[in-house]
Amino acid sequence: MKIFKNMVLFAALLVAAPISAETTSESDSTAPEPAAPATVEEIAAGTCAGCHNADGNSVIPMNPILAGQHPEYITKQLMDFKANGEEPPKRNSPVMSAMVAALSQEDMKGLGEYYAKQKANPSQAPIDEKLIEAGKVIYHGGNIENGIPACASCHGPDGSGIPPHYPAVAGQHAEYTLSQLDQFNKGDRANDNAVMQQVVSRMSANEKRAVSAYIATIR
């Protein structure tokens, strides 16, 4: 009788073993796969869209239009916003530093290339004509008396810029351009080169407003 019980137990184990293995296999096959990394388009439509719109055409005057900008310039700015270990970011902006914190170098390069391919919609904000005319003179001819060079010497007569250091400025929001000139003047922005800081330090408040106004009208 004892031998018979042992045989029954052994048979039960033989039957249970493959069932257990099959259950484990099914459990493994249904485990969720890791999420795929976000594409550049998804990052632009998610993280970046709130301030710059998905296509880089910001409608918020204090946020720059990124569409049509040189890819190298965008990539450099994104990298400068990001902290490097214990070193602080080269360009100071708590908001942007938070936005780029999770981005890889490949993401930032991809975003630069993505925005460069988008068609820019220039600023349409109404601006005082006299201010525009005054800005046009400085942009193309500078101010010799104060040692202010023409903006066009670095950013081009048509505002197309010279990559990677000199960005395209044509059609940029006047408010954003003025804010950056002020940051260069105060030393709050020093991630590009000392040239802008030197130039802006010689400009009056009205000259900065005038140049910013004219740049917004360049097409």
Q: What is the pLDDT of residues 194-217, one digit of tens each?
A: 889 999 999 999 999 999 999 999
Q: For all residues of the chain together, what is the average pLDDT?
A: 88
Within the chain, which residue ranges are assigned CATH 1.10.760.10? 40-116, 129-217
Look at residue 167 and tell me whether its pLDDT is greater than 50. yes
Look at residue 4 and tell me whether its pLDDT is greater than 60. no
pLDDT category, 28, cuts 50, 70, 90?
A: low
Amino acid (one-letter) located at 122: P
Strand partners, 148: 143
Distance CA 100, CA 6 (A): 67
CATH topology of domain 40-116: Cytochrome Bc1 Complex; Chain D, domain 2 (1.10.760)
- What pLDDT is recorded for position 15? 42
Cα–Cα–Cα angle for 194, 199, 204, nearest 5°? 140
Percent of the chain with pLDDT strictly greater than 90: 76
Residue where the block lists tokens 């349409």: 124
48-74 tens-digit pLDDT? 999 999 999 999 999 999 999 999 999
Amino acid (one-letter) located at 55: D
Distance CA 48, CA 35 (A): 20
Q: Among 72, 73, 37, 69, which Cα is nearest to 55's?
A: 69
The HSE-up count of residue 120 (CA atoms within 13 Å, CB side) is: 22
Q: Among 97, 42, 51, 78, which Cα is nearest to 164's?
A: 78
Look at residue 23 and tell me whether its pLDDT is greater than 60. no
Distance CA 155, CA 26 (A): 62
Reduced to 3 states, what is the DSSP secondary structure of residue 141?
helix
Percent of the chain with pLDDT strictly greater than 70: 84
Cα–Cα–Cα angle for 182, 61, 71, nearest 5°? 80
Look at residue 191 and tell me whether its pLDDT is greater than 60. yes
The helix-helix angle for 205-217 and 129-141 (nearest 10°) equals: 90
Give domain 129-217's CATH superfamily.
Answer: Cytochrome c-like domain (1.10.760.10)
75-128 tens-digit pLDDT? 999 999 999 888 999 999 999 999 999 999 999 999 999 999 999 999 998 889
- CB neighbour burial string for 134-155, b if at least 16 within 10 angstroms, e if fewer: bbbebbeebeeeeebbbbbebb
- What pLDDT is recorded for position 16? 44
53 class by beta-carbon count within 10 Å (0-12 exposed, 13-18 middle, 19+ buried): buried
